[in-house]
Chains A and B, each alone.
Chain A
């Protein structure tokens, strides 16, 4: 459950178009400790595939994705 996840950093990516949601997550991932979680809220539907692909490329993990109306909420865990 999302409410069980301890969020270390909130990112507002609403209104940003590809590739900027991915870029902002990448830019901020080192701001959380290893094992820490970024909660990123995007509106670009392209990020539904982009952010998980980015996570796989960089060895991190999207532990949960939620959709609330037009918002897509990613919980990205820093693994290394």
Chain B
């Protein structure tokens, strides 16, 4: 790699450097308390997955290119040149991180590893070494946004069968799944496919909500890739749709990262204030139940059931009680995992890992702690309001022969609604 390329890649770190990142670089005492907090390090023992080491790779680049000792006395500094070996290491450690932030919770200085991972991803993309599959998925979402008219008929066709299922479920031949409804109160953003549309449609129908379905899926692979431009382009498809339909709020399905992108990141990235509210569907369902807009059967689920706090919903967004409130309305034997809430262990599938086949074995291995947590509860049903978590839990269920059922909160509620 020539010097110009090295400086271009290192320059990304310089551009992204701010007070907070500098503080993180300076303050880490290498106490390694984070080693016991990271499910990846605990299950593999590989230093590459130690949160402090993840930061160390970035720190070495910083020392090499942006400190006096690194520039003038390289032999005395602990700096590292940007070369293929460093980029290989950076790739492995960065795209394997789920961004769960459990390390940050345990760190005495609250060092946020995801800041290092964001810089690392930007450096890798500049080097042409970003995750290829995540780039393809992000690219596909952008293409879909640019050519929505080509796909509109397909989506409408797809919804016909789902609408029939809805009518059967609610016993009303007029029940429908509205799209492009101007002036609706809420725009519901589901995932690709129909599995997150039907239960939501049942709930909205019963709550007599004035809603419309987004033409776009909630998932944002630009975010996982670490490409802010792509992430904004993917989110903007939904923002523009909401604007043109003049809705009052956007409601995101049970998808942790999609909710965080829209609620916490989009405004800062796009530098624009959104004229509508963003909510997750779990929050809305809890409100419907509390306000008596939907009635749930008193015949509660008797099988033991546990709840997995998705990192992006719990630790990273602060929603702990709403899911538990809903679960307690529908389940007679709710059993908490230990630990839970902000101390919950990551399932191992977040951060886009479920979409990266080269990490399949790794995520199954690093999901061991979650498997043990679930087994200890004795639960036969595991509920989680995040698609990435559910896909990972499905894989763990199969690979570890757990014999459990994995479901969403929406499905629990839709099945418990009294028609």
CA distance A29 to B217 in the complex (A): 24
Instruction: Say whether B284 faces chain A, with CB atoms less than 8 Å apart.
Output: no
Determine whether the beta carbon of A50 is less than 8 Å from that of B133: no
B229 lies within 8 A of chain A by Cβ? no
A24 and B136 CA atoms in complex are apart in Å by: 12
Contact with A along B129-158 (1 / 0, CB 8 A): 000010011011111100100110011011
B144-A22 in contact (CB<8A): no
Indicate the size class of the contact surface on chain A. 20 to 34
For the complex, count residues of B whose C-beta is within 8 A of A: 31
Main secondary structure of the interface of A (DSSP, over half): helix
Contact across chains for B355 and A44 when beta carbons are under 8 A apart:
no
- Given A20-B391, A26-B133: A47 in contact with B139 (beta carbons within 8 A): no
Q: With A18-B191, A23-B355, A46-B217 in contact, do A53 and B391 touch (Cβ < 8 Å)?
A: no
CB distance from B134 to the nearest CB of A (A): 10
Task: Give the secondary structure class of B's interface.
Answer: helix
Question: How many A-B residue pairs lie within 8 Å, measured between CB atoms?
Answer: 81
A22 touches B193 (CB 8 A): no
Query: Are A18 and B140 in contact, with the CB atoms below 8 A?
Result: no
Which residues of A4-26 have CB atoms within 8 Å of chain B's CB atoms? 17-20, 22-24, 26
Does B194 interact with chain A (Cβ within 8 Å)? yes
When C-beta atoms are compared, the residue in chain A nearest to B162 turns out to be A45
Give the contacting residue for A22; candidates B136, B162, B191, B194; CB below 8 A.
Answer: B136
**B195 touches A (CB below 8 Å):** yes
| B357 pairs with A19, CB closer than 8 A | no
Contact with B along A28-51 (1 / 0, CB 8 A): 000000000000000011111110
**Contact in complex: A50, B140 (CB < 8 Å):** yes
Given contacts A17-B193, A17-B195, A54-B136, contact A49 B154 (CB under 8 A): yes
Residues of A within 8 A of B357 (CB): 23-24, 27
For residue B402, CB closer than 8 A to chain A, the reply is no
Which residues does chain B contribute within 8 Å of A64, judged by CB atoms?
none
Which B residue's beta carbon lies closest to that of A45? B158
Per a CB cutoff under 8 Å, which of A20, A27, A48, A53 touches B140?
Answer: A53
> CB-defined interface of B372-388 with A at 8 Å, one 1/0 digit per residue?
00000000000000010
Q: A18-B217, A19-B219, A49-B155 are in contact. Are A44 and B140 (CB under 8 A)?
A: no
Instruction: Tell me which residues across on chain A come within 8 A of B354, comparing CB atoms.
Output: 20
Q: How far is the CA of A78 from the CA of B192 in the complex (A)?
A: 24
* A46→B143 contact, CB < 8 A: no
Using Cβ atoms and an 8 Å threshold, which residues of chain B touch A53? Answer: 140-141, 143-144, 147, 151
Contact A46 B140 (CB under 8 A): no
Give the residues in chain A near B191, CB-CB below 8 Å.
17-18, 46
Interchain residue pairs with CB less than 8 A apart (22)? A17-B191, A17-B195, A18-B192, A18-B217, A18-B219, A19-B137, A19-B192, A20-B355, A22-B140, A27-B133, A44-B193, A45-B193, A45-B194, A46-B192, A49-B151, A49-B154, A49-B155, A52-B151, A53-B140, A53-B144, A56-B147, A57-B136
